Amino acid sequence: MPLPARLPERIPTVVLDSHEALSRTIARRIAEVIAGRRAAGARPVLGLATGSTPIGVYRELIRMHREEGLSFRGVVTFNLDEYYPMTPESIHSYRRFMQENLFDHIDIDPADTHVPDGDVPRDGVRAMADAYEASIRAAGGIDLQLLGIGKTGHIGFNEPGSGAESRTRLVQLDVITRRDAAADFFGEEHVPREAVTMGVATILEAREIAILATGEHKSAIVRRAVEGEVDLEAAATFLQRHPNTTFYLDTAAAAELTRVATPWMVDEVEWTPELAVRAVVWLSLRTGKAILKLTQGDYAEHQLSSLVARHGSPGAVNGLVFNALGAKIRGKSKLPEGRRVLVFSPHPDDDVISMGGILHKLTQNLNEITVAYMTSGNIAVFDHDVRRYVDFLERLARDRGIGKGDVPGFTAQVREFLATKQPGTVDSEAIQDLKRIIREGEAVSALETIGLGRGNARFLNLPFYQTGKVRKDPIGPADVAIVRALLEEVRPQLVFVAGDLSDPHGTHRMCKEAIDRALSEMSGTPPEAWLYRGAWQEWPVTEATWLVPMSQEELKLKIQAIFKHQSQKDSAPFPGAHDEREFWQRVEARNKETAEMLNRLGLAEYFAMEAYVVA
């Protein structure tokens, strides 16, 4: 179906329901390009990208290779970029990333895979970059270039200021890019300041470009790239000049596109109750008027006359939306009582960060609550915390004689490892266990703050997380089996699941995948599922099914529970980029902002609120 003529998108854009659907679509397109080039008697040439977004594509290509016979013999690949300096063997190198996530699992000739060399002497970088360009030309040019997009709008490592004529070269990394990468390197101070990248002109010479984006945190830059002017400060906007580029987005990354955010400004729409709520809330905020004060003139001026016509008068529309929003509010008396409730927390603090308020209310309502911590979260514990607990063990052995025979050898082993550990080195098994135990103890302490305790906690320690590295294995049958076993044991009537996609390394999304698969395998009536969001975003009031108010005292209690996660206090290892605030500060602001939003719309005034979506 052709897109409406008024659509402001300057790059063809495909929106898919999920990260998985996006991965399948791109992988199929890559397979088609390979087949087409072979049919034409040419060698297929692919431009590849790294990062968390294309991993799903690579996993689908591996599956197609193993199960459908997709062969990569004769395929030539060129990767976009590499950190500098960077040895190929480093845990952070993009060469190693490609080997572990694709090349080692398919039948491609290693000689046909190319990644910029981050290990050449500085005086040889220019020659290496020129040779990389020459290799691309010698291969006949790139048939399909896979791209991601950074929050600065960079493609490859073409940072703000990169020109349209730029070629493969050494670049300085933007501070935002380095901050984004900080978690991978266990600290921003360890992120290289430079990288070798294909230039914008090199990328634009590809015959076809597929650019991927997922998650709410990419929605703003996606809109700028797709709908904004070509801008030297956002290299992705140069793709508007390419004749065969397509953006592939999940629904979260597409959220700010005009056709998604305000479709009535693009074309005629069908006014469903949900869309009416979105439109009226948008109009209220746009005009600065409470919902019940919106007039015919307000609707007409903002292209919403058809909504008024559908309901007969502005008052009818205003009342409908006002009542719909009011019906979302669920205080303690309207929340479940005496039910079996299972809360899935991807990390050991997501429960209290995201839903500490409702957890306290559900406890007061005498629900039977189990909180399942799906991963250990052990990579998010600083080494100095381990040293502190090791010192505690040594003092306990010395002063109280507890563990006197075993502690000295154990603590010496830990101290020796930490003394020689390099940034990014995978922790020893002993240290991984110590970090897991630290986070488990914090989780129990947080539960006690809101009226639960040790008996309410279950630590699943799912296998997919146990790599000791930031990047995790895909969800497998063992992960699903553990989740399903807990579901069968508890037989919950209500489950809470993290439903956000802005978790920096996708753990929330992967945990949700394990839960969804386990629920699909369960016998009997499935439980009702409420989705919460984590420390990075909140459900908008227009999307939320339920809004749960909190008093000043309840918000304070929730923050006290967050404080119990002391290893994440003050300076968390993985706070998410571009937000220097601690988790409790984000929570306080976010929950107050949700309540303030209702106040601005003219509804009742509350101190703070949490938001949930019923799946």
Picking from 303, 450, 306, 466, the residue whose alpha carbon sits closest to that of residue 376 is 466
- Please state, in angstroms and rounded to a whole number, the distance separating the CA atoms of residues 483 and 175: 39
Containing 153, the helix (H) or strand (E) segment is none
Picking from 154, 182, 158, 159, the residue whose alpha carbon sits closest to that of residue 168 is 158
How many other CB atoms are found less than 10 A from the CB of residue 509? Answer: 24
How many other CB atoms are found less than 10 A from the CB of residue 392? Answer: 11
Note if 159 is an active site residue: yes
Among 60, 82, 133, 159, which one carries the catalytic annotation? 159
Spell out where 216-326 has E strands.
245-250
8 A C-beta contact, residue 212 and residue 26: yes
The strands making up 494-498's β-sheet, listed across from edge to edge, are: 457-459, 368-373, 340-345, 494-498, 528-532, 608-614, 546-550
Helix H segments across 491-549?
Answer: 507-521
405, amino acid identity:
G
End-to-end CA distance of the chain: 29
- Please state, in angstroms and rounded to a whole number, the distance separating the CA atoms of residues 447 and 455: 10
Strand pairing class (208-213; 169-172): unpaired
Place of tokens 């590809």: 206
Instruction: Return the ∠ at Cα 575 (arms to 572 and 577), rounded to 5°.
Output: 145
Q: Which residues are catalytic?
A: 159
